[in-house]
Chain A
Amino acid sequence: GQQVMQIPQYQHVQEGEDFTTYCNSSTTLSNIQWYKQRPGGHPVFLIQLVKSGEVKKQKRLTFQFGEAKKNSSLHITATQTTDVGTYFCIPRGVNDMRFGAGTRLTVKP
């Protein structure tokens, strides 16, 4: 399957600060999916990006797919304690089922 590097591995922010996690690939991706796993919970699908340069928003979350479709980012504006968890980015194909380590976000109230 396709491999992406996600950075940072960990991020600790003060509540109200912004947060960004990045996914980078050496090859062009057909699409990318983002998942969130709360502590003690299971991964939940957030969004899928398919088009070059695509930008999608979900309230305080902004997802971007690079023009070359080799990178993607998730930006959270004004983090809240409910944003705590691990965020995974995964390129998806028929046989792609591996998850990386993700970015673990902690938020200090």
Chain B
Amino acid sequence: DGGITQSPKYLFRKEGQNVTLSCEQNLNHDAMYWYRQDPGQGLRLIYYSQIVNDFQKGDIAEGYSVSREKKESFPLTVTSAQKNPTAFYLCASRQEVSTDTQYFGPGTRLTVL
């Protein structure tokens, strides 16, 4: 919805492997976010970026890394250091310095076997 794409929708990886989830937006939004959602739970903030080449840790950043080399793209790497990586990952964006709404991508469901 709203011009944010995440791929793939489902992803399976073996334990110990790093995996990168993509997030692309064509809304010209300044800010982008990554959330993790576990079954029956709310959304927990992993990382966010308010401007290109800058990003901040959220509440559960350990075991994850991000980059923001382009305004449109904010990939998330789930590293082998993340103890329980199996979850639903949601990317979002919104225009910064305002109270604009957040637009979410469709999410990637990661399963680590």
The answer to whether A93 and B42 have CB atoms under 8 Å apart is: no
Given that A88-B42, A104-B40 are known contacts, is A43 also in contact with B104, CB under 8 Å in the complex?
yes
Q: Which residues of B contact A33 (CB under 8 A)?
A: 99, 101
Please count how many residues in chain B sit with their CB below 8 Å of the partner chain's CB atoms.
Answer: 25
- Any chain A CB within 8 A of the CB of B102? yes
Contact across chains for B97 and A42 when beta carbons are under 8 A apart: no
| A12 interfacial contact with B, CB 8 Å | no
Chain B: which residue is nearest A31 at the CB level?
A: B99
B64 at the interface (CB under 8 A from A): no
Task: Give the interface SS of chain B, mostly helix, strand, loop or mixed.
Answer: loop
Residues of chain B within 8 A of A101, CB atoms compared: 41-42
Q: A42-B105, A43-B104, A92-B99 are in contact. Are A99 and B43 (CB under 8 A)?
A: yes
Of all A-B residue pairs in the complex, the 4 with the closest CB atoms, nearest first, are A101-B42, A99-B43, A42-B104, A45-B101
B35 with A44: CB separation less than 8 A: no
> Interface size bucket, A side?
20 to 34
Additional A-B contact list (7), CB under 8 Å, known A42-B90, A98-B45, A104-B40? A33-B101, A42-B106, A44-B1, A44-B104, A48-B99, A88-B42, A100-B42
CA distance A100 to B98 in the complex (A): 20
State how many angstroms separate the Cβ of A72 from the closest Cβ of chain B. Answer: 14
